[in-house]
Amino acid sequence: MSLDIPFKLLLLFSSFSFTSVPTGATTAGLGSQHAQCYHITTKGPLISLMSRHLVLKPMDSLMTPKFCFLLFLSPFKHLHIIFNTWYVILFFPFIILFHLLLSSFQAFLSAWNKACQATGEVDIMIPKGTYLVGPLKFAGPCENVSKIIVHMKGYLKATTNLFKYGDGTGWVEFRWIEGLTLTGGGTFDGQGAKAWPYNSGSTDFNCKLLPTVCFFHLAHQLCLQIVHVINNLFPQSFELAYKTDEEKFLFQQNVKFLVMNRTIVRGITSVNSKFFHMAPVECKNFKGIKIKISAPADSPNTDGIHIQRSSGVYFSRSLIGTGDDCISIGQGNSQVTITSISCGPGHGISVGSLGRYKDEGDVSGLVVRDCTMIGTSNGIRIKTWANSPGRSAATNMTFENINMENMTNPIIIDQAYCPFASCTPMGPSQVKLSDIYFKKIKGTSLSAVAVALECSKGIPCQDIYLEDVHLELATGEKQVTSTCKNVRAKYIGTQIPPPCA
């Protein structure tokens, strides 16, 4: 049995030291039979430990006067180890073992820097244990490294101090890396409940971004004199920058991958992100397999996976339940394949929203196949903004063999998308939709309208195909219907609901 208590101030002894594996230690040439034991010792009085969470364990859990970590090493060419820290504190006549959830920022970055400077294939080990960390940026390029494998077995918890985060970043961010594999069964816990009450960006067009008191965008000949800022709740008082609206996300993704190539994510869990859970941005050849994502159904903007400006992306055999889209396909993507995804709760699998910003890239070559959705508010949704400031296109997309159960909008194209309570007068969307296939879609709908195709008046949809669609009302009381606007869809095989008139 253990007891988790917050410590505001613990005044013990000073001059504490322990012997353990050095942060980011490198071990080469050791076989699997080798083991090393690292002893923890105390010397003299300890200084105070401020604002820590301690886990107390009873005396009978300590059987010997010396304690060690046993580390069995595999024959990796380069091995880097990140340890959580254990402290042994002596109180006469008791011995108490404290496991501190310390901020492990320096330990992680030290191990990463050593790995990135190595040559050949490199392994980074994150052992089991709980790690409390703020924003982590693992950056390349690692010029002489052919492959980096991060064995993530620990449980990473994000700090709930919102002052530590910037706009549009990931809590844990990998960027400019070739050949990264993230695996091991570990968990990223964003502790998003502290942030969700402030995250109204999806419903309030005038939502203010938290991190800055005064943000000056594209300012010219700016002069500030005798300015006082008091009671600032945010990390910066003033910010002068040039950032696109698209990049200034309100909160942070749990795990963000930026400008990556040949990336594999396998067997990783993400829970309670403050914003999106996982976001490949400007990535090539990205694979995600056996990923688990979880957040409450009412958690705002917690998309499971958001893909943007990427190509050659593949996600498969994953479980996603969250408060927003299970998977969202943003602008500028090509050759994206989504298979064998279990989605729910959430908002289904979405393309978009598209067309909100100027100079967005096209979307093409999307395949969504063999997926199951249960209790989601939408099934397959394509959403583009009205009043698009620029032209773009979404084409060559296939949704096939999708099973749906108890959802409100099984198939929906919405080219007048506006998530806010009120919007300015709407001009037509400038996103062209074409060559879109819905095949073998079956299940039950909670709404009477199971297929809703609302295309742009300015650029009507072209070549929309529905083949073997079988959707029934969940209550079984009456037959579902279809609605169509600015589109002449083409129908093949079974059609329940009946095609639009």
State the catalytic residues.
347
Grouping H, G, I as helix, E, B as strand and the rest as coil, residue 36 is strand
Residue 471 CB contacts under 8 Å (≥ 6 apart), including other chains: 404, 410, 411, 441, 442, 443, 444, 445, 450, 451, 480, 496, 497
Q: What is the dihedral of CA 373, 374, 380, 381, to 10 degrees?
A: -140
DSSP string, 2-34: -EEEEEEEE---S------PPTT-B--S--TT-
CB atoms within 10 A of CB 3: 9
CA distance 452 to 450: 7
**Edge-first strand listing for the sheet containing 94-100:** 3-10, 49-57, 94-100, 86-91
- Half-sphere exposure for 459 (CA within 13 Å, toward CB): 18
Q: What is the H or E stretch that residue 410 is in? A: strand 409-417
Instruction: Map tokens 């009302």 to a residue.
Output: 473
Which residue(s) pair with 94 in the sheet? 91
Question: Is beta strand 187-189 parallel, antiparallel or unpaired with respect to 212-217?
Answer: unpaired
CA atoms within 13 A on the CB side of 264: 13
Contacts of 201 (CB under 8 A, 6+ apart): 207, 250, 300, 301
Burial call 270-286: b when 16+ CB within 10 Å, e when fewer: bbbbbbbbbbbbbbbbb
Under a CB-based contact definition with an 8 Å cutoff, are residues 282 and 263 in contact? Answer: no
Structure token digits, residue 458: 């300015």
Cα(474)–Cα(444) distance, integer angstroms = 5
Provide CB contacts within 8 A for 66, sequence distance 6+: 39
Cα(445)–Cα(20) distance, integer angstroms: 58
